[in-house]
Amino acid sequence: MFVRYESIEELEDAIARAFLAARDLDAQGALPPILQPLTLISPPRGFAISVELRPFEDPDHPGEFAEDSRWDPRHGDVLINYEPGREGGWRDDRREGRRGWHDGAPAELPPPPGEDEEEARSGTAQVGIRGGLWMLPDFKSTIPAGGREFTRTALFDVGVDFSLLFDSVFVGSSIDYALTNELSIFSFSAQAGFEADLGKLLVPLSLRASAGIMLAELDVDEESFGDFDHGVGFLARVELTGRVTSSVVASLWVDYRHIEFDYEPTVLSGDDKAGGATFAVGLSVGLRF
C-alpha cells in the first residue's frame, strides 16, 4: 500500500493521536490487553510526540520515487520523536520543505485527560442491579381489635437503577423490593445528583451523591394486622463506584430514607405510623453504554 504525501500529514497526526489515546485509555483501565504494549512507546505525561513517515526509496534505484512523493510501509521509515514540556504542541520543523504538505496547522491534539474523561462520560446511560439491607424501626400499636406490632428488623432489599449522566450531573430512578418473613415494602424513587472522579486505586474510582423523592407501600403478611397508607418521603444516596472495565461498574452504596406509613385502623395507644428515619446499605453492579 502506497500513501502519497498529500495524505501523509493527516496519517502522521493520526498515528501521534493514537499513541496519546492508548496512554489515556490505559490510565482509565479501558485499553484492551492486546494493545497494552503500545503504552511502552506512548509519550509520558508532559511530553509531546511527533511522527514522521519517511518516503519509500528503493535502494537499488535511489531517487526513483522522489517525484512520486509516496510512502510504502514495506520499505519506508517511521521516525517517532518525543519532546518534554510541549504536550500541547507539535513539531513542524521536520516537515518544512517536503513536497505535498498542506498549508496550515495539523489536526488538533486530543483534549487533556481530564476533559477527555468528562467528554467520554457525557450523555451516557447506566443500568444497575442493587442488593443490600434496609433497617426498619419497630412498630407497636393498640387498636380496638388488640395489640399489633413488629420488631426492629433488617429487610433484604433488591433494586434496579437507571440513570443518565451529562458531564458530572445525572438524573435517575430506582425500583426496590424489600422483604422479611413478616412484611414487605415496594418503593420507587427519582433522584438527581453529581458524580466526581477520585482518581485510580486498582481501578478508576468516582463518588456519586444524589437526593430525591420516594414513594413506597408497606404490607404486613397478616390479614388481621391492618393496612398502612402509601408513604411519600425523601431519599439521599452516596455511592463509591469503581470502573471494572470500560462498561462495567461496581458500587458500595449507603441510603438515608425518611418515609412514614400512616396506620389506617383507629389507634388507642402506641404508634400511629411505621417507618421514619431509616438507613440502607449494600452493593451494586451496573453497565454503562
Q: How many domains does the chain have?
A: 2
Looking at the structure, do residues 155 and 134 belong to the same domain, yes or no? yes
pTM: 0.60
Boundary (domain end) residue, out of 62, 85, 110: 110
Q: Are residues 138 and 256 in the same domain?
A: yes
- CATH number for the domain that contains residue 148: 2.40.160.20
Under the banding of pLDDT at 50, 70 and 90, the label for residue 72 is low
Q: Are 66 and 166 contained in the same domain?
A: no
Q: Are residues 122 and 105 in the same domain?
A: no
Residues 223 and 270 in one domain: yes
Same domain, 71 and 142: no
Task: Give the residue numbers spanning the domain of 190.
Answer: 118-288
pLDDT-wise least confident of 116-130, 189-203, 221-235:
116-130
- Quick: pLDDT tens for 20-62: 888 888 888 888 888 888 888 888 888 888 888 776 666 666 6
Q: Are residues 174 and 80 in the same domain?
A: no
Tens digit of pLDDT for each residue in 244-273?
Answer: 998 999 999 999 999 999 999 999 999 999
Burial of 161 (0-12, 13-18, 19+ CB in 10 A): buried
End residue of a domain, out of 110, 143, 161: 110
Identify whether residues 147 and 241 lie together within a single domain. yes
> How far apart (Å, rounded) are the C-alpha atoms in residues 69 and 8?
10
Pair (237, 129) in one structural domain: yes
- Where residue 271 falls (left for φ over 0; alpha for ψ -120 to 50; beta otherwise) is beta
Last residue of a domain, one of 110, 144, 171: 110
Whether residues 214 and 155 fall in one domain: yes
Residues 170, 139 share a domain: yes
* Long-range pairs, 222-230, Cβ under 8 A, ≥24: 222/182, 224/145, 225/148, 226/143, 226/145, 226/148, 226/263, 226/264, 226/265, 227/264, 227/265, 228/261, 228/262, 228/263, 228/264, 228/274, 229/261, 229/262, 229/264, 230/261
pLDDT of residue 58: 61
Say yes or no: 132 and 233 in one domain: yes
